[in-house]
Structure 1
Amino acid sequence: MHRYYNIYQFPVKEDLLDISFDEFGGITSVPPLRVNVRTLNEEDSSSKKSNSHDESTNLATIRFNEVYAQTNFIYNVWETEENQLRLLLSQWNQEHLADTLLAEKVYVSTLKIINRHHMQRLLKKFDMGTEILFEQNLEKWRESIGRPLLPSCDTSIPPCTPTLSEIIRPLTSVSATNSREGSSLNSAINTISISLREILNETPRGKMLVEFYSQFSRFQEEQRTSLISLIAHYFEEKNLKMTLSASYKMENEILEIFPSEKLEYFRTSKRGRIYNKYANLTQSFKNAVSKHIRNDEREVIKNTRHEKSFEPEANGEICLNSLKFDNLSAEEFDRTWKACSHFRLEFIKSNKSIIEVFEKWPFYKTPSGYRLIDIDFRIAFNNRNGLLSEWSQNVEKITLFLTTEQHIKDRNIKGMLAHIKNNDALSENGKYAALIWAIHGFLVPTNKVVKKDLTGKKITTKFTIKDSQESVIYLGSNQQQVEEYISHLKKTKVWQPAIYATGKDIFSIENIFVQFGETRYEFTSILSALDICFKIIFLFDLKFPEESIMFYTFIESYFYKFKPSHNYAKVHILSEFLST
């Protein structure tokens, strides 16, 4: 407790109270305070000076607001509300505010119920530093009397300007009521409820700007430019998307927090200086760096195919550790794998990076990892297995469709279909692989892709039938050619599964395997390889290859009975023919 020794004189009727505080712990002290009380009469004051101190002094006990004296009188030390207020302000070393508060009829009783938004109006004639100190003193005092100051404006009062101390004080939460904008997935991911107060509080430059304003009560153009740059860099570094509405929100918060600022300082165009600064930052980085570097974080759109909700098993981590460290038999491994399926599928569903999925569940990368993909696909998508179960009964119909009514115009594919019809000695893999390639002759890719080369020049690419075929099954004359092709793709394409094989032609296909990133699964059946390719795409929620979107949409809707992610008239025509 701080100790003070002060002399207070209060006029009481014709007499004068001379009160010496032996110990004063503050106006809110609870323990009794010892005081010396003596009454002095003007007529005999000089004669009484010769008397002993003990004869002219009565000992009393004082509590807050009252004096209990050992005389016949009870004096109210705090006789007026003005005295109460002045004494309180003196303890805060802000006595100079007394006249202003009294002029506004603000007393101690008023300070007990005052809200933050009143203070700026009350102290508008004073500098920002005085306002901050007053608010700090008021907060401590209100807490000591059990009536803490509310952190924000009273909701029953119209919206008000936040005080500067709200900026400086660390923020504990961000309002959850701010709605997220944008209907696209990118907008939904990047739009976050962010406030200027949070930016100022979290960054060193933000705190310096606040301190500058508290001292000078205004910004010059140099500080405004720094503030704009601070906001734009914060959004870029946090990977937040700056929308027009977000920039407008920042502008309005600037006007609220720094009242001397004007909208014209920041809204020099429709977009405004904040939005333009952010756009310039992101564009300059793309021009300098991004376009030259392949993105290894193969980000994919999530939650588009996994419609089911998965409740993770409570022992999911235990199962995962058992899979990693216990010496399990094949049967025990499969049983443990299935026992934590929902734990794993929920992780896959919520995770945006296939790399992270494979790091947590490295068993997918083993040579037999395709079995685990098949297990998880069946659990996630209700045992759909249409390609393997329905392909053979549709082979003749597909062949018939492709060879009639001029559905195929490509000469090479026409020759391929003729060879299928006239050669009963073809192997199953050769026949099925050729028919898969032939389907691309009807589902000819129509989409165009615009990309930029290293110089920034835009290049429009229209995919061919061969592009579509080889994005599903690539056939090399030997293994070296296949490996060189895969190495080339790794430099330019994201992770997408595809089938690779060798042979002098598609009918003599052999050495079949599926390559997915750095993982390779070997197969003896071309149909099983295609089945796993599709299941990889669906399970890990990847995009269909751009070259063969129409082909995979056909497989998706007809064989696996999913609602197609894209609508194509030719897919509908072929599916309708096969269904009759």
Structure 2
Amino acid sequence: MSLLEKVEKIDVIVDAALDDPEIIEEEDHNPELEKLFCEWNLSPAIYAILVQHGFTVEYLEKMDEKSLDDVFSVTKWTGHKFALRQKLVLWPKSVMCQSASTSSVSQSAPAAAPVVLEPTTVKLHTNPFKHHLLPTSVTSELLRDILSRNEKGKIVVKYFETHQSLNVTHRKYLAHTVVDYYIANDLYFPLPDMAKFAQLIAERFSNEFAETYYNPRDIKAEKKHPSGLIYDRFHNRNKKALIKPKSSTDKENIFRGAKSTALNLSEEDITKLSILRTWLRNNFAPTEEVQLKWSESLPLRLRAIIKETDVGKSNILSEWPRIVDDNGYLLIDSDFEQLFGKCEKLFNDWEQFSEKFLKYVRRAEIKDDRSLQLLRHLQEAPVCQAGRELIISYVFQALIKPTRRAGGKLPTILEAQFEVCCLCQTNDEYLEDLQALRRDCEAAKIQLTPRIYAVGCLENIDSLYVVTGKFEYKLPSFLRCLDVIIKLKHVLDYHFSDSCEAYWCFLTRFFYGIDYRRKSKNSQLLQLIKYLESQCEEDQ
């Protein structure tokens, strides 16, 4: 049972700085903070309050007396504040511990010249900052400074000067400008600051209401939560910051744990699971029983995958022949879901991603002639859905260019495009090309890395396949092909093609939340991801 499940209803009148612990959603959990509070044996209500305020362990390290007072501003919570303070002054990572140590040393040291201490705030870095963002320091001067330094802020001011009012879009820009100032400087945004900014905005922009930007909680009106553009913007940003690392870390930990379990199976477990493997070798129906036995036998299969020595995966495929069945990709789905969780983001968010990606590509002004022709074709011709997705995959190779292979040869953009997907006009052409490719890879004793074959033309793609050296899957859509290749990598440990590895790294990280480390530091890739994430945040 998590800490939040232990929290009883606390029926007290609290100000806008507090929320009811019982209605905090599961997505707001912070496992790192929860674990720390369990170790400290603190009341679960303290954890609930801090989570609702958007606190992380990093923020907690920088919590000072002022921010402690802001969070626990109701008399009835004084005991919780005292309990947390006792832990913080003894915690080596806390600024309050450091302050206490400094105070102790100064009392025992010989008299010296007085030292003027700067006020502290909830700040994650020690970079000098013009405005110390305590509640008393939010002024009209600070608001003017923020608006004058931010492009969106300038747009808002100019729009207001012209129209003497703000529309929905410019109100959103205004809230984003204020909140992003805190986010950019890694500062926690306390509720009193939000209230002050809302008041200053109403004074600066006539016809605007403070409640639009920050509307405090009101028990009498049965309003349980603060709201407003500023409040929503800050807490939505903070939730995303908490969820992303959690998702990636959890997936890596689960996968590591599964591999450890597989390598440490007892002889008794191996015997039991081998019975399931034997059944699966000799049966492909009924489907439900196959799925159940397949799921139960994952540790033994994972053990074989880890110990596989053949580049073509011949050992694992002979032990588990259901993989090469026409619908074997459904079993790959099952293993991936057990190891990394269910993920539909590629299918749900692709359209939104593709629009933003194409906008980024046009700004980047790529030089590759073939890719430019494909972009023009996309605009001018009736390209089918799979053709559109194929073009985006091709253009990516011109945007994030291939890097040099281990052998020293630099792949061309065209090679990278064909190793993502080879477009054949007829089925015979597809079969001929695949057979030749398999012969070449077998002769060179290298792995035929998973790739896509499409049959038809950009206006009408008839068939789509994912192929390897030993098997192929016929799939219903181009996105499903991308999905299966990523799962083949993370389940059966197939390699991604060197020439287009950055593309697979991007898809794996952006849509599946798995950090594929070989290319994760590519500066062009990081710039693209940062742009896409910022565009998604602006849409919130």
More relative contact order, 1 or 2 (CA 8 Å, 6+ apart): 2
TM range (shorter): 0.3 to 0.5
More helix by share: 2
Structure-1-length-normalised TM-score: 0.43
Larger radius of gyration between Structure 1 and Structure 2: 1
| Bigger strand fraction | 1
